[in-house]
């Protein structure tokens, strides 16, 4: 079965790096996710926002990739935020306690502004 490989595009919104994730967050997403994270943090910003609005499938391997990204970010002192998670994946982020270590925002504005705020604070 063909899998739709993850597209991870980095853009800037109000001085915050936003990574738009499109497709499936699974084993094949590793390179795209790591590259996007490297690009998003190259400017030395204090936070990264993950946009899951168009990530239609996240499996346990995908969770592991996000855990890896989060561990990397904590080492670099970068805050990770997320938005656009469906109720189901939001539940999974809570069950796995990912939600305890990254802010899950309701939408992009909250994620970016919240990020701004936390940066200002």
Q: What is the binding site for other proteins (CB under 8 A)?
A: 1-3, 26-28, 57, 59-61, 63-65, 67-68, 70-71, 74, 86-88, 91-92, 95-98, 100-101
Neighbouring-strand partners of residue 21: 8
CB of 42 to other proteins, least distance (A): 22
Per-position DSSP letters for 81-109, written without gaps between them: EEE---HHHHHHHHHTTHHHHSEEESSHH
Neighbouring-strand partners of residue 112: none
CB of 59 to other proteins, least distance (A): 6
CB of 120 to other proteins, least distance (A): 25
User: Would you say 49 or 98 has its CB closer to other proteins?
Assistant: 98
CA 8, CA 21: separation in Å to the nearest integer? 5
């Amino acid at each position: 079965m063909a899998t739709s490989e993850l597209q991870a595009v980095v853009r800037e919104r109000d001085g915050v790096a936003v990574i738009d994730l499109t497709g499936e967050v699974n084993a094949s997403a590793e390179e795209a996710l790591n590259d996007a994270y490297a690009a998003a943090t190259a400017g030395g910003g204090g936070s990264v926002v993950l946009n899951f609005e168009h990530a239609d499938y996240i499996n346990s391997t995908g969770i592991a990739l996000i855990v890896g990204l989060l561990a990397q970010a904590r080492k670099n002192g970068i805050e990770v935020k997320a938005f656009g998670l469906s109720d189901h994946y939001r539940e999974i982020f809570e069950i796995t306690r990912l939600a305890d270590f990254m802010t899950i925002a309701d939408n992009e504005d909250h994620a970016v502004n919240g990020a701004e705020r936390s940066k200002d604070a």
